[in-house]
Amino acid sequence: MKIIGIIGAMEEEVNILKDKMEIESVSQKASMEFYKGKLCGREVVIVRSGIGKVNAAICTQILVDDYEVSAVINTGVAGSLKNEINIGDIVLSNDAIQHDMDATGFGYEVGVIPRMEQSTFVAEEKLVAVAKEVCEEVNPDINTFVGRVVSGDQFISDREKKEWLVSTFKAYCTEMEGASIAQAAYLNNIPFLIIRAISDKADHSAEMDYSEFEAKAIEHTVKLVSELVKRI
Ligand code: ADE
């Protein structure tokens, strides 16, 4: 692979990676700062996209157009959708769906994007396999899961909505960018991987847990991403 694009929605999700990198250039576009350089010897561009699917999709397209990235990794935190996936654990995407895409009024299933061949975007198998191996090596005290990530422009902090996501999509975690990055990667024919550490359980306790556990969760994604870029 050539240059790898690394996207985090928030400063907290990319700052530690940026501090670890040898920066060669910084440029701005669409209110985003693109840091190009080497992370652990590997050519990367690291960028904070901003929160939500629109920001994340625009960011991915810029990475493709201006940096010709050969793959995109989305790193950050997420709410767990499974009892056995605990705060601090990591979920790697095997695929991703936008849970707030709803054209059911036209007879489509929820999550299906009308007039597109695909609405469930599948991560590259090899990327997932290497990431799982690396994650278990560098984060031995937590569990690493591979499963579906669902994304929407909603912070999920409500048990009913959580149960709906679980029963409708059989997803492992929920966040606000991954599936739009996956769609942009699919449209540009490049591989993607979503790496999410669990900061909360996407229920009534989500807001409190999120503030308390976000930093710890990010430590796990930083360890994984730093080592992963060396091996892909
Ligand atoms: N990111 C982290 N936790 C989340 C949640 N509960 N809902 C959406 N995005 C999140």
Whole-model pTM?
A: 0.97
**pLDDT tens-digit readout, 57-101:** 999 999 999 999 999 999 999 999 999 999 999 999 999 999 999
Question: What local confidence, expressed as pLDDT, does residue 1 receive?
Answer: 62
Q: Give the pair of three-digit tokens for residue 178.
A: 């991954």
Q: Where does 4-230 sit in CATH, by number?
A: 3.40.50.1580
Q: Would you list the domain boundaries of the chain? A: 4-230
List C-alpha distances in Å: 208 to 87, 97, 103, 137, 157: 12, 26, 33, 30, 10
Any atom of ligand 1 within 6 Å of the Cβ of 179: no
Rg (CA), the chain: 16
95, 175, 177, 200: the catalytic one is 200
List C-alpha distances in Å: 147 to 35, 43, 93, 94, 128: 30, 28, 5, 5, 10
Any atom of ligand 1 within 6 Å of the Cβ of 175: yes
Which of 77, 174, 209 has the most ligand 1 atoms within 8 A of CB, as the residue to mutate? 174
User: What is the chain's mean pLDDT, rounded?
Assistant: 96
**pLDDT tens-digit readout, 108-121:** 999 999 999 999 99
Question: What local confidence, expressed as pLDDT, does residue 11 receive?
Answer: 92
User: Rounded CA gap, 117 and 167, in Å?
Assistant: 24
Any atom of ligand 1 within 6 Å of the Cβ of 171: no
Whose CA is closest to atom 1 on ligand 1? 78
pLDDT value at 135 more than 80? yes
